[in-house]
Structure 1
């Protein structure tokens, strides 16, 4: 499975790999000792509450996950009592709303610890064709989609699979698509996001409809010209291979047709409501290696929450890219987290928070290009480099695209928090958090871009070499920032654990002052060496995995990974040794986000061959990975992840007993989802 990555980021990484003498030289500008450590204790204190307060909401006849029968009282957004009917009746008032669980399971709300809200929003209103297998079906579905979206200025299609007889022939790509849509740009993406197909209008509006050469800047110098398919006259046919190449197509079109802030807010609300329908009360949004996008998204979250339109909690993250601006990315993210903390404490207003985040957003969108310009200036270390002028052109183009996609829409609006209808401050227990730095170490097994110990890595893998990884881990850890690293292969997992181990030693005195160690995360862990499995518990590292990524033999994955390594693949059970914390997520919208399916698969998984070790987990362990484990990951173990007095009221009422998920087939529906004390989803009768 593959975490999506923005095409402009893929291009930036290709440039960094190709010209390290230009784009890698400033990684060491910031020294650890130049940065004051953040020694603040990050774990949230227990909630203050009045157990005698009249309840706003009561759940009767609940069966808790441990089998206890209970009734639950909620006042405001906090669980105030869990006990017998008599105990709860004492706090029922004339306005108390009562829900009857009818003896069914009531669980802490599920948290998806790894998904991509941005991608889910982007795919609203688009066409997904994962199941299309014939050209006739493709054309039929696309015509219907185009007719239903006749007012849209641009059309996007996702999920097309490759076939021996291609549905979109490379030689006649534009003509094939023009027969269906010719009055507006149309972009079709492969299921693995490694190929994009475009109609004539799209190629023309991206200013690529001309004889090549000349190619877009640096395409030939980077050896990528063969990935733009051209006809006998040198004109692009409309097929562009790999994200770093189709960024020259997709980027300009996204910049020309950006989604308005109002539309993005609406889309974000829609996808969060979809998640609430699965019993999800919180998510960990994983960044996609685009720092400006992360801050733009934080502004959306802030506005949606202040409008009381955010139905679930979102623990967001910010990106750092392995280039000349690596450590500055961390500082910008740290500044954003610091501002959010001050706003929760009412040291600044929501309007002030918005303005300061907007300034950080502008910095995140321009600081890379500013450094490139300094390199090119007289006296700069790149002034005499033969590729410097072309690099400046590409950098300027990328910066312009990022500005139009992520910055311009916010910058031209008035501060929405200055309206009288908006609260002056955000709540202390805001639904928004920003604690995590997200980085990519490698790619995927299926594309031979995972960093594995059993073979030589492909070009550019790992994305962070060990020295730079050690540095960014120690740097982030010093600032009290959790690092989450996309690590598919066992080489990436080992590198990440090694870097965390070094950071623990370097910052041990800081940890003593904090009173706790930062719970860094390793994401995916599809393969892991036997000797590294116990290190998760020993180093207090969170294993973040996705149950529905695992599938039994035989798939392409199994043909690429030796059978000798299968025993420690997707090793959910063995990562739990030494009291390690396991969290589960989905990678949605790439994979289903349904926690019931995830729990069921984690519990019922079978060994891959006779005599293989069983890596399935118990029902309690699987549920914990979606509840209490996720709470610990975001410093919230004192306030969420359990149903008991003093916890935030995040719960899900099921249609039966949660133990049904222990069977291979199950019928268990989500009846009601409660987040922050409010019903955010109720099944229609």
Structure 2
């Protein structure tokens, strides 16, 4: 979904941002002079967080953790002094988009701009600097942060770019802002019907305004030239470098095409995949049946796993594409959009479950959350041998606006809520406007989920949000943005403890993707996936959690990132 210039830019950037070459391993390494934290025991609340200061690693796996006595037990191990730093298990993002992040790194970034004029100016400057581009692509605009909060229109872009099509994705990836050239290229006019699960916003005369919601985006996006596989691989390399710098050693990629799945296998075969990718098959991929028939895939080194299918229930709250049971509080005639029809949801659930794959169902609004829970319950009703789906670890992605009475059903049915803490701090300026004071009680309700017995798999939904996991940990614990607002936290009764938040980004995230037997904690027998950070999260103020910096990142005992100023 890029052009020649963008992908050549990736290639040149990759040359300067090459991944740190793995450090050759001796027969065994003894890491010492650090304070390490890890969980041990089972998933969820029945865990013990303990500290250690020595760790032995051999052949990429942890042999033992403990104290100075390990030095006597392993006298031939190579000594590695970590200079009094802090060690954590490698952090895991349970819901991100690796290819999307790689693409975004070379497109015009519109995140955080607080008015329409400045947004248009940045797009114009980017286009002028990149005259080779056939398409001007970007992402990150958010009209909710603008003074009027009104959607922009095609004329805003036409004034500065009318010779090339422009396609700008909203920050939540559920709406696009395009110019007239793009609309004409796609043949969109006042007679074009809204596609199922999408909407073409129109003016009073019925003409397209330039805003396309959810599936309507595809009317234009299908005309954007596809990148070559080599270009896609270069994008993934850029993305993984960025993620490793942030301390992420594993990502559950939330919806990959058959071609993108092959990218991960290709990179691993080349020896260029330096992190773990647990990829979800996109349910909309034409090859879904063949991929399900092939069964769950896992590489011998556990770098690549494909055992999950991602399907979309609805859109996003910011663009009013999230499907609600009752209308939007700030738009009484709008219920949102259901991307996948209910009858198709049922058929997909049955096919995916029977094939032995996890189900990951995107549900922002209370309607698709309820729909998914009902369909999961139906699976149990149709199989007398099942009283819970816990062993299958099916998931609902986002679980963002949920009826209060539906929250306990997640634990009762054995369904994992996959949630993104920074969504709350990004959405708090508009969420209650959208759903009102009553429904907000079941929104971003992490504490309610934990207290009802759920295990939360935490992530960021990058590039919708920034990928830094410490931003998510901070948001989960404080319910504040990184400016410390609101002072008391946004609905602070829904906050998590630091231990709960760290667990959701490590072992519980691993559990949600069936990788907990070999990742998620620093215990004997598991891979030595760990990070070295600059401060102790348990000894600093919660308000400073987002400031934690990663000094080095290790995957299977190999150093794959080191901060240059360490």
Coarse TM-score class (shorter-chain normalised):
0.7 to 0.9
Alignment correspondent of 1:541: 415
**Given the alignment of the two structures, is residue 77 of structure 1 paired with residue 48 of structure 2, yes or no?**
no
| Alignment partners' CA distance in 1, 2:518 and 2:506 | 12
1:259-298 paired onto structure 2 within 5 Å: 259-287=227-255, 294-298=257-261
Pair 169,678 (structure 1): closer, same or farther in 2 beyond 3 Å: same
Tell me which protein shows more strand as a share of its residues: 2
Alignment correspondent of 2:35: 62
TM-score by length of 1: 0.67
Alignment correspondent of 1:657: 536
| Alignment partners' CA distance in 1, 2:138 and 2:490 | 44
- Secondary structure at 1:196 match in 2: strand
| Alignment partners' CA distance in 1, 2:444 and 2:408 | 14
Pair 485,309 (structure 1): closer, same or farther in 2 beyond 3 Å: same
Alignment correspondent of 2:175: 194
Alignment correspondent of 1:644: 523
8 A contact 2:120–2:156 mirrored in 1: no
- Secondary structure at 2:161 match in 1: helix
Pair 160,477 (structure 1): closer, same or farther in 2 beyond 3 Å: closer
1:599-638 paired onto structure 2 within 5 Å: 599-605=473-479, 614-638=493-517
| Alignment partners' CA distance in 2, 1:588 and 1:563 | 28
Unaligned runs of at least 5 residues, structure 1: 7-52, 288-292, 345-427
8 A contact 1:537–1:577 mirrored in 2: no
| Alignment partners' CA distance in 2, 1:61 and 1:191 | 39
Tell me which protein shows more helix as a share of its residues: 1
Pair 195,567 (structure 1): closer, same or farther in 2 beyond 3 Å: closer
8 A contact 1:81–1:88 mirrored in 2: no
1:195-214 paired onto structure 2 within 5 Å: 195-198=176-179, 200=181, 206=185, 208=187
| Alignment partners' CA distance in 2, 1:299 and 1:250 | 22
Alignment correspondent of 2:122: 141
| Alignment partners' CA distance in 2, 1:225 and 1:110 | 38
Alpha-carbon offset, residue 544 of structure 1: 0.9
> Which of residues 266, 271, 278 is equivalent to 1:315?
278
> Which of residues 535, 545, 558 is equivalent to 2:432?
558
Pair 586,661 (structure 1): closer, same or farther in 2 beyond 3 Å: farther
8 A contact 1:174–1:238 mirrored in 2: no
1:465-544 paired onto structure 2 within 5 Å: 466-509=342-385, 517-544=391-418
8 A contact 2:86–2:535 mirrored in 1: yes
Alpha-carbon offset, residue 286 of structure 1: 0.7
8 A contact 2:34–2:87 mirrored in 1: no
RMSD: 4.0
The aligned length equals: 518
Alpha-carbon offset, residue 609 of structure 1: 9.2
Alignment correspondent of 1:305: 268
8 A contact 2:165–2:178 mirrored in 1: no
- Secondary structure at 1:125 match in 2: coil
8 A contact 2:274–2:560 mirrored in 1: yes
**Given the alignment of the two structures, is residue 125 of structure 1 paired with residue 121 of structure 2, yes or no?**
no
Alpha-carbon offset, residue 92 of structure 1: 5.7
- Secondary structure at 1:262 match in 2: helix
Alignment correspondent of 2:483: none
Alpha-carbon offset, residue 617 of structure 1: 1.3
Listed one character per residue, the Cα deviations across residues 539-566 of structure 1 (whole Å, up to 9, x for unaligned) are 2211111111113996221122231233
1:91-240 paired onto structure 2 within 5 Å: 91=74, 93=76, 96=78, 98-102=80-84, 104-132=85-113, 137-138=118-119, 141-142=122-123, 144-146=125-127, 148-162=129-143, 170-171=154-155, 173-178=157-162, 182=163, 185-191=165-171, 194-198=175-179, 200=181, 206=185, 208=187, 219=193, 239=210
| Alignment partners' CA distance in 1, 2:124 and 2:34 | 51
Q: Which moved more, 1:624-633 or 1:557-566?
A: 557-566
| Alignment partners' CA distance in 2, 1:492 and 1:99 | 51
> Which of residues 556, 560, 564 is equivalent to 1:676?
556
Pair 661,628 (structure 1): closer, same or farther in 2 beyond 3 Å: farther
